[in-house]
């Protein structure tokens, strides 16, 4: 690549990254300062919006709901995805391939379809909307991702390790506990973090299933429909920090070194 | 070594197998079926009539406003895709051309927004696009505008800009990965044989990275097509899209079968785009 070409590409890339990050930084900035006639008052720095936020009971409740949903959705997805991965690993074949296709559907299809189908299904079987419905929705939404992460790791394990453990007289449980599980541990942690991050931000499926209660993204959605309130900036900044932190931790688990990240 | 077999008891094995199969079937397959069936029911008065008919589909096709919205949304998704292709390809090319830690950080900088809440990104964009927002301020400063414009909020432009910015990483990352897969020996050989940088780009890099662009384009198109959050929150009354039309059937309009039928139309388009992209992105010479 010639030098001029590279400089032009670099300038364009700088513009694109600015477009990606500037809106986010503006929100963070606005959470500390007051506005007057569209201009930031630089001498008005305060944490007022943050303290208001923690006095807002609706937001605290929404946060707790989000955490509860995330915890149970991740737990359910982990158990089922691990079982599925073991099953798939042991009995690859047509039925398993079909099953794999099914669990990938909620991940591939537009979320509006997943949310909608659960909504009409729950209505037909007479299951009410609410947090449990949301937990089910999130579990199936993150299932494919957790499953794939664990299966990938499982496939890197040499069969001879399992055979060796059996030759040495380990029971099947012992083989699982002392050979398989340590091998899978990192994959499980990565998958759980990633799944939690997805669940924490999920809005569309949740919107269909949440009913009268509310999670953090739903609360935000409701607040935004009413209009701007300065508290939103503080809330948004905190959530952004949380998501960014989680992503960086996941990136450490997945990549560590430069090369691997590009391959993911 | 399956966990299912860990006890050796046949009954327990069956139990685990049931768990493995039952949950995906109960909560993915059956809901999808229910949703497909719903589209063949219809509403009369305030009640859902549970008998097979094409009435909901015909209602959709007979509703000129909805059909127009459908085509307008296809056009919107296509625009998002083209804008992001034009902006995203050079960025991917730039990232793959640099080396060392910087490249790792730039990729990370693309992944971080990917895991940020969609609704929050929309919120941030809305703050930028308003008449007092940063975009207006910048254009005033540059002298492009002489007074703040309402052109960028609560209309289709706002939806287009918001979606394009938010979906950019979905375009850049697949192109970057495709660029990474091109063996360096190919461009080196071309250089040895006297190809100019432009020729190397045109004859090797560009064609071999096209599958990544196709996958990125697919992501952008499918995501833009079904979304109703961005249109609702920055689109105002003008930015009405197909996703919003579907969502409104489950709210105010309260016609679930019609909403299901319209979602099936959305689903078919999405699947067709995914299948077509899969075909183009995996040309015969790349298959194992």
Point out the least confidently predicted range of A83-92, B119-128, B173-182.
A83-92
pTM (2 decimals)? 0.85
What is the ipTM for the molecules in this complex? 0.84
The CATH code of the domain at A55-263 is 1.10.3720.10
CA distance B235 to A54: 31
For range B132-149, the mean pLDDT: 79
Is the predicted pLDDT of residue B2 greater than 80, yes or no?
Answer: no
Written as six digits, the tokens of A230 are: 């300065």
A261, with CB counted inside 10 A (0-12, 13-18, 19+), is middle
Q: Quick one: three-class SS letters along B43-77?
A: EECCEEECCCCCHHHHHHHHCHHHHHHHHHHHHHH
- CB of B205 within 8 Å of a chain A CB? The answer is no
Query: Which chain A residue shows the shortest CA-CA distance from B92?
Result: A13
**Chain A residues closer than 8 Å to B132 by CB:** 38
| Confidence at B284, pLDDT banded by 50, 70, 90 | low
Check residue A244 and give its pLDDT.
86
Quick one: which of A258, A128, A132, A245 has its CA closest to A196? A245
- B47 forms beta bridges with B44
Q: Are A256 and B104 within 8 A, CB to CB?
A: no
CA distance B221 to B227: 10
For range A114-130, the mean pLDDT: 92
HSE at residue A95, side-chain half, CA atoms within 13 A, is 9
In this complex, the residue of B6, B118, B176 whose CB is nearest that of residue A201 is B118
Question: Over the stretch B44-54, which tens digit does the pLDDT of each residue have?
Answer: 877 888 888 89
Check residue A255 and give its pLDDT.
62
CA distance B160 to A176: 51
**Chain A residues closer than 8 Å to B118 by CB:** 201, 203
Q: Are A56 and A231 within 8 A, CB to CB?
A: yes
CATH classification for the domain delimited by B58-286, as one of 1.10.3720.10, 1.10.540.10, 1.20.1050.10, 1.20.900.10: 1.10.3720.10
For range A179-192, the mean pLDDT: 87
Check residue A128 and give its pLDDT.
87
| Confidence at A259, pLDDT banded by 50, 70, 90 | very low
Question: Over the stretch A152-168, which tens digit does the pLDDT of each residue have?
Answer: 888 888 888 888 888 88
Average pLDDT over chain B, rounded to an integer: 88
For range B218-224, the mean pLDDT: 92
CA distance A58 to B24: 34
Check residue B146 and give its pLDDT.
79
Q: Please report where in the chains the tokens 């047509």 appear, as a residue.
A: A94
Check residue B19 and give its pLDDT.
80
Q: Are B246 and A131 within 8 A, CB to CB?
A: no
| Best residue of A84, A117, A218 to probe chain B, by most B CBs closer than 10 Å | A117
- Percent of chain A at pLDDT > 90 equals 36
Cα three-residue angle B4-B10-B12, rounded to 5 degrees: 50
Check residue B17 and give its pLDDT.
79
Is the predicted pLDDT of residue B243 greater than 90, yes or no?
Answer: yes
Domain ranges of chain B: 58-286
B78, with CB counted inside 10 A (0-12, 13-18, 19+), is middle
Residues 213-232 of A with CB under 8 A from B: 217, 220-221, 224-225, 228, 232
Written as six digits, the tokens of B168 are: 């950019």
- CB of B195 within 8 Å of a chain A CB? The answer is no
Question: Over the stretch A174-184, which tens digit does the pLDDT of each residue have?
Answer: 888 888 888 88
Instruction: Give the residue, B73 or B283, on which the prediction is more confident.
Output: B73
Taking an 8 Å cut-off on Cβ atoms, the answer to whether B21 and A99 are in contact is yes
């Amino acid at each position: 690549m010639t030098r001029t070409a590279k400089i032009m590409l670099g300038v364009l890339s700088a513009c694109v990254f600015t477009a990606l990050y500037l809106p986010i930084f503006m929100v963070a900035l606005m959470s500390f300062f007051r506005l007057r006639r569209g201009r930031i008052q630089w001498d008005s720095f305060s944490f007022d919006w943050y303290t208001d936020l923690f006095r807002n009971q609706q937001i605290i409740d929404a946060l707790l709901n989000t955490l509860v949903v995330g915890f149970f959705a991740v737990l359910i997805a982990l158990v089922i995805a691990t079982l599925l991965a073991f099953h798939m690993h042991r009995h690859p074949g047509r039925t398993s391939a079909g099953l794999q296709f099914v669990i990938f559907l909620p991940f591939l299809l537009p979320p509006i379809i997943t949310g909608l189908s659960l909504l009409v299904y729950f209505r037909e079987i007479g299951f009410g909307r609410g947090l449990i419905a949301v937990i089910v929705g999130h579990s199936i939404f993150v299932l494919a991702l957790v499953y794939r992460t664990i299966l990938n790791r499982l496939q890197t394990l040499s069969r001879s390790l399992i055979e060796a453990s059996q030759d040495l007289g380990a029971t099947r449980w012992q083989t699982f506990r002392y050979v398989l599980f340590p091998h899978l541990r990192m994959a499980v942690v990565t998958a759980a973090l990633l799944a939690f991050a997805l669940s924490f931000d999920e809005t569309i499926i949740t919107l269909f299933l949440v009913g009268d209660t509310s999670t953090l993204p739903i609360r935000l959605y409701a607040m935004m429909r009413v209009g701007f309130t300065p508290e939103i900036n503080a809330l948004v900044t905190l959530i952004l920090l949380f998501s960014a932190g989680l992503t960086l931790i996941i990136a450490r688990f997945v990549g560590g070194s430069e090369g691997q990240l590009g391959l993911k | 070594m399956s966990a299912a077999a860990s006890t050796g008891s046949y009954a327990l094995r069956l139990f685990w197998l049931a768990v493995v199969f039952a949950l995906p079937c109960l909560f993915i397959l059956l809901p999808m079926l229910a949703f497909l069936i719903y589209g063949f029911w219809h509403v009369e008065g305030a009640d859902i009539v549970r008998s097979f008919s094409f009435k909901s589909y015909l209602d959709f096709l007979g509703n000129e406003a909805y059909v127009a919205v459908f085509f307008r949304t296809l056009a919107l998704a296509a625009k998002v895709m083209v804008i992001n292709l034009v902006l995203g390809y050079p960025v991917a090319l730039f990232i793959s051309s640099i080396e060392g830690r910087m490249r790792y950080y730039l990729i990370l900088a693309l992944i971080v927004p990917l895991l940020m809440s969609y609704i929050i990104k929309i919120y941030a964009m809305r703050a930028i696009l308003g008449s007092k927002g940063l975009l207006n301020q910048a254009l005033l400063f540059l002298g492009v505008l002489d007074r703040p414009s309402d052109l960028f909020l609560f209309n289709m432009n706002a939806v287009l800009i918001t979606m394009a910015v938010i979906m950019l990483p979905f375009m850049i990352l697949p192109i970057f990965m495709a660029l990474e897969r091109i063996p360096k020996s190919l461009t080196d050989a071309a250089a040895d044989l006297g190809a100019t940088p432009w020729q190397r780009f045109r004859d090797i890099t560009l064609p071999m990275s096209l599958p990544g662009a196709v996958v990125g384009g697919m992501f952008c198109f499918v995501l833009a097509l079904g979304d109703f959050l961005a249109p609702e929150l920055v689109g105002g009354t003008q930015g009405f899209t197909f996703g919003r039309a579907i969502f409104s059937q489950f709210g105010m309009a309260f016609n679930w079968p019609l909403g299901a039928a319209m979602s099936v139309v959305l689903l078919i388009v999405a699947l067709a785009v995914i299948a077509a992209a899969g075909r183009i992105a995996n040309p015969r010479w790349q298959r194992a």
